[in-house]
Amino acid sequence: MDNVNISRIALLSVVLLIGTAGMTAAVTAVPDARITVSDVTVSPDAAHANERVTVEATITNSAGSPNPVSLNSVELLARGPGIDSRPFASLTDTEVRDELTGLGALSPGDSVTISLTTQMESPGEYQFLVRAHGQGPEEDVDVEVENESTGENETVTRTIEEDVTAQQRTTVTLLPATVDLDVRALPLEEAIATGSGSQEDGEDGGGAGAAGALGGGNIQDIIGQNVANVQNTEESPPPAESPVLVTLSNAGTVEAERIVVTPVIAGEEGTSFVTQNVPAGEQTQVMIDLGTVDSRNEVTLRVDYDTAVGVKQTTTQLTYPPRGGDIRVTDANLEVVGPAEGGSRVRITANIGNAGSGELGGTIASVEAAEGVRPVYPARSFFIGTVGSDDFVATELTAVVNASTATEIPVQVTYIDRGVEYTETITLPYNPAEAESEDGTSGISLLTPGIALLTLTVLGVGGVLRRRYV
């Protein structure tokens, strides 16, 4: 920080109203008010170009000053890349970056801390100058006046005011601006169910964040505005067919403005939506509508926006529609019903349920061949068909199991969810001693905590394999 000597400027205005005769005046005394500017700081510490910075300073009327001072104004001036290189004394009022006025009076020993703000477009080293203007009280002074007509001196009393000025400067280096708009998107139903995409993502689970963003569940509260209808602000948006919650987080140092979100499905652009600006360090959420989506697709969301350093673009991807069904297997039992070639005949019974919100179609349960396990008649597979939301179907399968080589029986469940075929494999632990208990059943629950392990891999176009160990 560069300290600058405090300057006092006494301006004497003497108005002589003694007729038309010319007179020469001399001041015999002036007041002695003194103010200082100190503790000039700039925040944030690592400021960037195009980021608003705050300059704080303390203005003090020194304890040795005999009079109070009216603090008329405090100005902020700057020199640096692209604005001005002239001395501060040469800068005019039109080049003041910020100014505070009407700050009141300071008694001797009193001080006040003020804040001024500014914003620079270019990175580099800048000098900031804080300059305070004050005014002392009115003082009566004796003025010796020479009457040019007679050549004689006359003493008159006049009232004057003392203008006082103090200033201090500091140097700061502004870093280049950074642009970093992070975009996340989830189907609205999934965002509410999981709490993902909330304003405090990861801190507030259970869907509270996403639901809260809807103003208590009202979708229209955060829906983006259709670009085609941007002028029609009175008309309410139509109900969303395929709502997606988009979270925009600005980790950069400049504001993201004029944001437009455009979905792209199979190379075709959908309806674009505009949303509010996102200042640096802040986050907002907007709901967009993908329109009619008949089958599951990979959706690209393109986000175009303006910043102080140019037009930018970013993208994110999601799969839509989300999976509507959720296969669950409960009440699975294994029963040895007799001997068979290569092992024992085992009957498998279980309930295949759907805990999701959508309907599952083409559902088939079957025994999957594995080491020591062979599906056999009469129930190698079981066609279940459609399983509605919150519904289940009892199934029965048969297999021959060689206890010396097999410790588990894999059961495969294939189903169609919104046009995509999925396959899940549920593996049942096999213990002959349990399977041959007095009641002939194992009573193994496929949802026992701590036993299930789920992995998901893509089989190819339209197919998904999920293997679950229970």
Using an 8 Å Cβ cutoff, are 299 and 319 in contact?
yes
pLDDT 10s digits, 264-290: 998 899 989 999 999 999 999 999 988
Sorted by where each begins, the domain ranges of the chain are 23-174, 181-319, 327-469
The reported pTM is: 0.56
3-state SS class at 306: strand
| Homologous superfamily of the 23-174 domain (CATH) | Immunoglobulins (2.60.40.10)
CATH number of 181-319: 2.60.40
Of 9 and 195, which is predicted with more confidence?
Answer: 195
Tell me the CATH class for 327-469. mainly beta
Q: What's the chain's Rg over C-alpha atoms?
A: 40
Residues 119 and 308: their CA atoms lie apart, in Å, by: 11
Average pLDDT, the chain: 77
Range picked from 2-16, 113-127, 151-165, 226-240 for highest mean pLDDT:
113-127
pLDDT 10s digits, 127-177: 999 999 988 776 666 667 777 777 777 766 665 567 788 999 999 999 999
| Closest by Cα among 444, 424, 452 to 364 | 424
* Six token digits for residue 262: 């455009």
Using an 8 Å Cβ cutoff, are 417 and 325 in contact?
yes
pLDDT 10s digits, 409-418: 999 999 998 7
pLDDT of residue 39: 94
Using an 8 Å Cβ cutoff, are 127 and 170 in contact?
yes
181-319 and 327-469, same CATH topology: yes
